[in-house]
Amino acid sequence: MAKRETGTAAALIPPKPTLPMLREIARGCQACDLYKTGTQTVFGEGGPRARVFMVGEQPGNDEDLAGKPFVGPAGKLLDRALDRAGVDRRQVYVTNVVKHFKWEPKGKRRIHAKPSAGEIRACLPWLEAELSLVKPDVIVALGATAAQTLLGRAFRVSQQRGQLVSSPYGMVLATVHPSSILRVPDDEARHAEMDRLVTDLKPVAAYLRRAAA
Ligand code: URA
Ligand code: SF4
């Protein structure tokens, strides 16, 4: 049982954590108010030695219900993009900056709401602990929330997408969030955006091939 911590999950991280340990403790996290609206904590998933570490913003509706990251429409699009880029999905750990679903009601639906700076700060110790355990070769930031959390508020995905840049966390490549592609109404424009995502992810595949050689 985790006790309530106001403002940061830092105090919940044990001195010598393992991923299964963190996942279990994070289940009881109440470090920000999002635990009240989310169904459950959606912790990261993937092998402890994954070379690629992908970070989204927060779980969506489907992830909130399943308890797993990137299992809904955005995750399926991401899987297709990884496959087309030649990134082996088994080499990928997936997680989010914020581990609870933040939403607003719209009719009977729960629609995504943007996490606040305070919620991001509160949840960051979980992401940092995941990073320090997985020790990936490449971090992929999906969308502005993840990119700015890892690379600073001045980072602009539109200007530096697809480039490997160094950060205190290691090498980071930022690109758009797969959900943003799902929202493009025009078929042709959506396919073009998907092609750009695949192009952005290709350096990751190349990096993995070089590392394996
Ligand atoms: N969007 C995210 O940012 N993360 C998920 O896990 C699913 C959708
Ligand atoms: Fe804890 Fe993060 Fe959930 Fe807030 S969003 S309660 S910090 S796991």
SS3 (DSSP) at 96: strand
pLDDT by residue for the chain (213 residues), tens only, comes to: 444 445 899 999 999 999 999 999 999 999 999 999 999 999 999 988 999 999 999 999 999 999 999 999 999 999 999 999 999 999 999 999 999 999 999 999 999 999 999 999 999 999 999 999 999 999 999 999 999 999 999 999 999 999 999 999 999 999 999 999 999 999 999 999 999 999 999 999 998 888 777
Whole-number pLDDT of residue 3: 44
**For residue 165, how far is its CA from the centre of ligand 2 (angstroms)?**
28
Q: Where are the domains of the chain?
A: 9-212
Distance of CA 51 to the CA centre of its chain: 15
CB distance 98 to ligand 2 below 6 Å: yes
Residue 8's pLDDT is 97
Ligand nearest to the CA of 54: 1
- CA atoms of 202 and 112, how far apart (whole Å): 29
Q: How is residue 68 annotated by DSSP? A: S
Residues 6+ apart with CB under 8 A from 140: 52, 53, 54, 55, 172, 173, 174, 175, 201, 204
Ligand 1 probe mutation, 145, 177, 181, 183, most atoms within 8 A of CB: 177
CATH ID of 9-212, from 3.90.1150.10, 2.60.40.10, 3.40.470.10, 2.60.260.20:
3.40.470.10
Two structure tokens written together for 47: 């092998």
- From the alpha carbon of 94, which atom of ligand 1 is closest? 6
Alpha helices in the chain (DSSP H): 19-26, 34-37, 61-66, 73-85, 117-134, 144-151, 157-160, 178-182, 187-212
Tokens of 181: 């592609």
**57 CA closest ligand 1 atom index:** 3
The ligand minimizing its distance to the Cα of 43 is 2
pLDDT of residue 208: 87
Closest listed residue to residue 51, CA positions, set 14, 82, 18, 20:
82
**Alpha carbon of 31 to ligand 2 centroid (Å):** 5
Which ligand 2 atom lies nearest to the CA of residue 35?
6
Question: pTM for the full model?
Answer: 0.95
In this predicted structure, what is the pLDDT of residue 6?
59
CB atoms within 10 A of CB 20: 10
Close Cβ partners of 68 (under 8 Å, ≥ 6 residues apart): 42, 45
